C-alpha cells in the first residue's frame, strides 16, 4: 500500500521516522503519498517551492472580510487568479467582483466541502499553486474560566469544536486535498494564518490559544515532511489587526482595537499583513511576524517559562482591573 520511494525519501530525510509512524500518517490523511524519485534532483537535493512570480491560481479562505480580503486584493493586484472562499457568500461575492476573481461559498470546517472546492477550482481554473487557509474564529473564555467557552454556537454545543475545526482541521483538510497533486506537478504553497497566540498566548481565550498553537505545529509538520518535495509553507502570526475579529468593521479608519488591552504593540491594517505575507512568499520564508516584537517574546518565553507565566499573569490582572 505504501510507496517504497516515500519511505526511502523519509529515511533519507530523517532516520527517526519509522514505518509505523509513516503508516499512521497515511491512514489518518486518507491518502497514498505520491512522492516519486523523479521529483528529486539527481544529487538527492531538495526541490525548491515555486517562486511567487510563478503562482497563477490562488484560493483564499475567509476571503470575504478582514485579512483574507486584503490578501485577495494584494494577490489580484499582482496578477493572480483569485478564488474567494468564504462561508459568508455575499461578502465573498463582493470581494470576487472587486478582484475580478471567482467566489465560492465554503464552510472550511467541512472536509468534503474543501475537497469539492479544490476539485472544482482545478477543473475550471487549472492547478492551484497557492492555498491560503485564513478563515479563523475566536469566542473568548466564559466568565474567566479557561476550560469553558462552552456556550452553544449554531448547532454545535461547545465552542471549542468550531475552533478546532476552523482554526486547525481546515488547514489539514486543505493539505490533504492538495499535497499529493502539488508534489506530482513539482510543488505548491500553503499560507496558514495562525496568530501570535499560536506562539505565545491569548489572554482570555484558551480555545483560540490552544488551536492556534496546533495550527503552527501543523504548519511546521507540513514544512518538515514536504519541504524537500517542493511544498512551501508560510505560517502567519500577527498580534492585533484591524478587522471584525477585534471589533473593527471592514473599511473603518480606526486603528483602536479590542483584545481587552492585549493590543500592546499596536493594531495593524489588514493590508500591511497581506504585504508581509507576499514578502515572505517572495523570500520563501516560513514564519511571518507582522509585529516583529513577537520574535523577542517567543525567545523570552522559551528562555524562562516561569518568568514568562508570571509576566502574563501580571498582564491578565492589569487587563481585568481596567
Ligand X SMILES: NC(=O)c1ccc[n+]([C@@H]2O[C@H](COP(=O)([O-])OP(=O)(O)OC[C@H]3O[C@@H](n4cnc5c(N)ncnc54)[C@H](O)[C@@H]3O)[C@@H](O)[C@H]2O)c1
Give the residues lining the site for ligand X (CB under 6 A). 61-62, 64-68, 86-88, 91, 106-109, 134-137, 166, 193, 195, 238, 240-241, 243-246
* Number of other residues whose CB lies within 10 A of the CB of residue 303: 9
Residue with Cβ nearer ligand X (39 or 94): 94
| Residue 12, number of CB atoms within 10 A of its CB | 12
Residue number, 35 or 240, with CB nearest to ligand X: 240
The runs of H, that is alpha helices, within 55-205 are: 66-77, 89-98, 111-125, 160-162, 170-184
- Tell me the closest approach of the beta carbon of residue 192 to ligand X, in angstroms: 9
Q: What is the C-alpha to C-alpha distance for residues 203 and 205, in angstroms, rounded to an integer?
A: 6
Return the exposure string of 156-172: e unless at least 16 CB atoms fall within 10 Å of the residue's CB, then b: eeebbebbbbbbbbbbb
Q: How far is the CB of 268 from ligand X (least distance, A)?
A: 8
CB closer to ligand X out of 40 and 197 = 197
Strand 188-193 and strand 81-86: the pairing is unpaired
Question: Least distance to ligand X from the beta carbon of 62, Å?
Answer: 3
Give min distance, CB of 39 to ligand X, in A: 31
Q: Which is nearer to ligand X, 70 or 182 (CB)?
A: 70
135 HSE (CA, 13 A, CB side)? 30
Quick one: 184 or 275, whose CB is closer to ligand X?
Answer: 275
State the nearest-atom distance from the C-beta of 154 to ligand X, in Å: 10
Q: Nearest CA to 232 among 183, 276, 166?
A: 183
* Cα–Cα distance, 30 to 304 (Å, whole number): 40
Contact between residue 183 and residue 195 where contact means Cβ atoms under 8 Å apart: no
The catalytic position among 52, 173, 208, 297 is: 208
The distance of closest approach from Cβ of residue 120 to ligand X in the complex, given in angstroms and rounded to an integer, is 15
At 135, is the secondary structure helix, strand, or coil? coil
Cβ distance 106 to 85 under 8 Å? yes
Which residue has its beta carbon closest to ligand X? 136
25 catalytic residue (yes or no): no
Query: Quick one: 17 or 315, whose CB is closer to ligand X?
Result: 315
Closest residue by Cα to residue 316 from 141, 185, 188 = 141
Alpha-carbon span 275 to 278, nearest angstrom: 5
Catalytic residue numbers, as ranges = 208
Amino acid at each position: 500500500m505504501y510507496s517504497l520511494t516515500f519511505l526511502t525519501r523519509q529515511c533519507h530525510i530523517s532516520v527517526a521516522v519509522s514505518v509505523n509512524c509513516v503508516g499512521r500518517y497515511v491512514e489518518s490523511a486518507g491518502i497514498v503519498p505520491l512522492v516519486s524519485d523523479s521529483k528529486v534532483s539527481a544529487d538527492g537535493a531538495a526541490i525548491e517551492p515555486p517562486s511567487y512570480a510563478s503562482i497563477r491560481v490562488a484560493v483564499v479562505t475567509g476571503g470575504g472580510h478582514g485579512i483574507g480580503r486584503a490578501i485577495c486584493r494584494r494577490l489580484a493586484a499582482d496578477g493572480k487568479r483569485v478564488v474567494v472562499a468564504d462561508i459568508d457568500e455575499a461578502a465573498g461575492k463582493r470581494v470576487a467582483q472587486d478582484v475580478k476573481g471567482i467566489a465560492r461559498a465554503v464552510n472550511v470546517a467541512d472536509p468534503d466541502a474543501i475537497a469539492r472546492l479544490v476539485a472544482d477550482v482545478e477543473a475550471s481554473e487549472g492547478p492551484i499553486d497557492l492555498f491560503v487557509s485564513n478563515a479563523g474564529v475566536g469566542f473568548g473564555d466564559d466568565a474567566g474560566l479557561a476550560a469553558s467557552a462552552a456556550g452553544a454556537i449554531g448547532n454545535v454545543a461547545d465552542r471549542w469544536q468550531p475552533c478546532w475545526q476552523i482554526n486547525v482541521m481546515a488547514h489539514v483538510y486543505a493539505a490533504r486535498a492538495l499535497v499529493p497533486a502539488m508534489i506530482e506537478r513539482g510543488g505548491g504553497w500553503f499560507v496558514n494564518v495562525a496568530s501570535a497566540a499560536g506562539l505565545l498566548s491569548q489572554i482570555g481565550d484558551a480555545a483560540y490559544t490552544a488551536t492556534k498553537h496546533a495550527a503552527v505545529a501543523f504548519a511546521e509538520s507540513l514544512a518538515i515532511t514536504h519541504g524537500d518535495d517542493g511544498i512551501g509553507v508560510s505560517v502567519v502570526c500577527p498580534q492585533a489587526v484591524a478587522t471584525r475579529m477585534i471589533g473593527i468593521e471592514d473599511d473603518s479608519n480606526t486603528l483602536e482595537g479590542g483584545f481587552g488591552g492585549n493590543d500592546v504593540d499596536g493594531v495593524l491594517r489588514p493590508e500591511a499583513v497581506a504585504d508581509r505575507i507576499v514578502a515572505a512568499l517572495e523570500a520563501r520564508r516560513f514564519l511571518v511576524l507582522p509585529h516583529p516584537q513577537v520574535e523577542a517574546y517567543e525567545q523570552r518565553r522559551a528562555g524562562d517559562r516561569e518568568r514568562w507565566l508570571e509576566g502574563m499573569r501580571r498582564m491578565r490582572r492589569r487587563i481585568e482591573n481596567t
